[in-house]
Amino acid sequence: MALFVKICGICSKHDLEQISALNPSAMGFVFWEKSKRAVDPKTVGMWQTPACIKRVGVFVNPTKDELHAVVKAARLDVIQLHKIPSHWTIDRNLFPSIEIWKAGTFEEIRSQSFDFDRFLIDSYDPKTVGGTGKTCDWNEAKQAVTTLKKPLLLAGGLTPQNVEQAIQTVHPNGVDVSSGVEISPGKKDLKKVAAFLTAARAAK
């Protein structure tokens, strides 16, 4: 199976169109107002993406009503959750055909009781979520891959220069990048995105 590659923190229609042409597995949009990469759900909903690219919404401890509204407005395929309580749960019937992912450290992920579709292991930062540019503990991530019974994406400080080594060390089901392919927060460098995709797909 081909490695799953997500390009996160898309903030403009221009970047979306340019990156869509490179055919990543998924593209992520941040719906947390404190983020430098926050975008408006209705604006995202007007942007078109190929059917083969998953549209992932990134949330920080959202309410059920917030999720419902944003999923509809932004036309999402995936809900990615950060900093939720360990007892978090939701009725899946409210989100038919929507994948639900949990992102965080290994400790945060394995404490969850909800049956998530996929996990994303990331570096820890008390002030923000994702896009920190900090690598997570790859040895811990490797342990997570062998311990968890769901597909796992590796995130945190990945770049075109280190993603191949990261994949060879951790053996995740996929990788996620944001700041590692940017010119500045929210503005992607297309050459870096292309280089990241090439390196990730070449890793074995």
The pLDDT value given to residue 149 = 85
**Known catalytic residue at 8:** yes
Q: Which listed residue (77, 122, 136, 176) is catalytic?
A: 122
Residue 126 CA to residue 61 CA, distance in Å, equals 14
The pLDDT value given to residue 129 = 63
Indicate which CATH number applies to the domain containing 21.
3.20.20.70
**Known catalytic residue at 122:** yes
The pLDDT value given to residue 51 = 96
Count of domains observed in the chain: 1
pTM of the model: 0.94
- Packing angle, helices 13-20 and 190-202, rounded to 10: 30
| Regions of the chain short of the pLDDT cut 50 | none
Residue 114 backbone phi and psi in degrees, to 5: -70, 150
Q: Which listed residue (8, 15, 77, 136) is catalytic?
A: 8
Cα dihedral sign, 178-57-175-85 = positive
> Residue 193 is part of which domain span?
4-202
